[in-house]
Amino acid sequence: MRGLVVLVTLACFATAQHQALIDYLERRLLAIEDRISLWHEQTTRYASELRELKQQMVSQLENLDKEKEILRTNLDGVGTRVDRVERELDYLETQNGAQPCVDVDDKLIEQQVTLVQEKQKAKYSKLSDCSDMISSVKAMKILKRVGGPKGMWTKDTSRVSAKVYIFNGTDEDTIHEFATVQDFTRSLGMSLSKTLRLPSSWRGTGHVVYNNHAYYINQADDIMVVKYDMKNSSVTDSAVFPVQDHVPVYGLTPETLMDLAVDEEGLWAIYATRQNERHISLAKMDANSLDIEQMWDTNCPRENAEAAFVICGTLYVVYNTKQPGRSRVQCVYDVNGMVTNEEAPLIYFPKRYGAHSSLKYNPQEQLLYAWDDGYQILYKLVMKKKLEI
């Protein structure tokens, strides 16, 4: 009987232990389920927060792009206004012309005029009736900056054309044509231009556009002047310039071996040779046949020369002075003998950048088209009669 009681007692104890184990396991499972549920809630919340953060970042990035574009537009506007202010300041600076360094007696001037009239009248009439010369530079207008530091721009010098041509660089074969100066000014870069491809590359900055033809310098073994018909896109004529041992015509523009110019009398060539390498020479050319009509050795030095141009048969050579931002005509050579270098007035160019790589005179407008370190500039000239010096 006692054994039976013991067995029953052991059975009850085992059952109690089993139940306790079951209860313990259930509590652990419930705890695990609670933690899993908590982790699920936290994961869901974190995923939601990450999505919201991503949306916020995307929105902020879009706003930053918009603000960046607005800032770029504002900076472009500021740059345009600064360029406009610089142009106006340059214009105002040119309103007060350079004062002569020496006062000349009126009687001496009259004597010089009388001497010039008596000695040169007959000689002058043999070449031309043109008698204008520069008195001063009245104003300067900076139109824009496009292209490299060296190049040439000009207007067709014929009376019926308003087209403007850009020769960018010193060794290229592509011309940019604009219908008017206004189109060139408002164009973004070369966007409003028509592209003209030449059959050969030009050399230097000594080209001109005259009566719907581009006259440019091409160099291989010899220096060749090429006449290109802009309307028909074909070479009309070409000629080897009949001079040996060329050297760069300007000391400060070594890429330019020859500089072509147009004035009231037609086409000119400005050049230099090794035989007379310290000075600049001048030749009158026939614009139709490219023949040389007459040649002159001038007393204008090549050293420190930037560029030159011709007006009424008078060569004006521009030099870089020691004054900051200034160039000056320091040598004048009149093929008609009307004006000597000593008698010519002082002429300063109020420039602000580098050196003139080209200066092209338009006789119809009495303007100089200048290229100065990539800036395209117009100089308005004041003229006077040669006998009024």
| pLDDT, tens digit, 9 for 90 and up, residues 337-373 | 888 777 788 888 876 677 889 999 999 899 999 999 8
* pLDDT at position 124: 38
Percent of the chain clearing pLDDT 90 (strictly above): 42
Q: What pLDDT is stored for residue 2 in this prediction?
A: 62
Instruction: Using pLDDT thresholds of 50, 70 and 90, give the confidence band for residue 64.
Output: confident
Task: Dihedral sign for Cα 208, 213, 217, 222, please.
Answer: negative
Q: How far is the C-alpha of 377 from the C-alpha of 145, rounded, in Å?
A: 9
Quote the radius of gyration of the chain (alpha carbons, Å). 41
DSSP class of 97: P
Which residue do the tokens 């602000």 mark? 352
Q: Show the 3-state SS of 247-296.
A: CCCECCECCCCEEEEEECCEEEEEECEHHHCCEEEEEEECCCCCCEEEEE
Distance CA 295, CA 281 (A): 8
The predicted-structure confidence for 290-331, as pLDDT tens digits, reads as follows 999 999 999 999 999 999 999 999 999 999 876 666 788 999
What CA–CA distance (Å, rounded) separates 254 from 306? 10
Dump the DSSP string for 5-68.
Answer: HHHHHHHHHHHHHHHHHHHHHHHHHHHHHHHHHHHHHHHHHHHHHHHHHHHHHHHHHHHHHHHH
| Token pair listed for 328 | 């000056």
Fold for the domain defined by 104-388: Methylamine Dehydrogenase; Chain H (2.130.10)
pLDDT at 84: 61
Answer yes or no: are the C-beta atoms of 297 and 265 closer than 8 Å.
Answer: no
pLDDT of residue 24: 81
Averaged pLDDT for residues 363-384 = 92
Rounded mean pLDDT, 271-289: 93
pLDDT tens-digit series, residues 164-185: 999 999 999 999 999 999 999 9
Tell me which of 266 and 21 has the higher pLDDT: 266
CB 301 within 8 A of CB 280: yes
Name the more confident of 338 and 111: 338
Q: Which of the residue ranges 1-5, 17-21, 39-43, 314-318 would you say has the lowest mean pLDDT?
A: 1-5
pLDDT digits 0-9 by tens, 112-158:
544 444 444 444 344 557 888 898 888 889 999 998 999 999 998 87
Assign 268 a pLDDT band (cuts: 50, 70, 90): very high
Q: What angle do CA 142, 144, 147 make, to 5 degrees?
A: 125
What percentage of the chain has pLDDT greater than the value 70? 80
Q: Which of 32-46, 57-71, 248-262 has the highest mean pLDDT?
A: 248-262
pLDDT computed for residue 245 by the predictor: 85
The pLDDT value recorded for residue 128 is 57
Report the half-sphere exposure of 136 (CA within 13 A, side-chain side): 10
For residue 4, report the phi and psi dihedrals to the nearest 5 degrees.
Answer: -65, -40
Give the residue among 352, 277, 346, 284 at the shortest CA–CA distance from 318. Answer: 346
Q: What is the pTM of this model?
A: 0.68
Q: Give me the pLDDT at residue 46, please.
A: 84
Which alpha helices (DSSP H) does the chain contain, by range? 2-93, 106-127, 181-186
How many helices (H) and strands (E) are present in the chain, helices listed first? 3, 20
Average pLDDT over residues 207-225: 90
Binned at pLDDT 50, 70 and 90, residue 83 comes out as: low
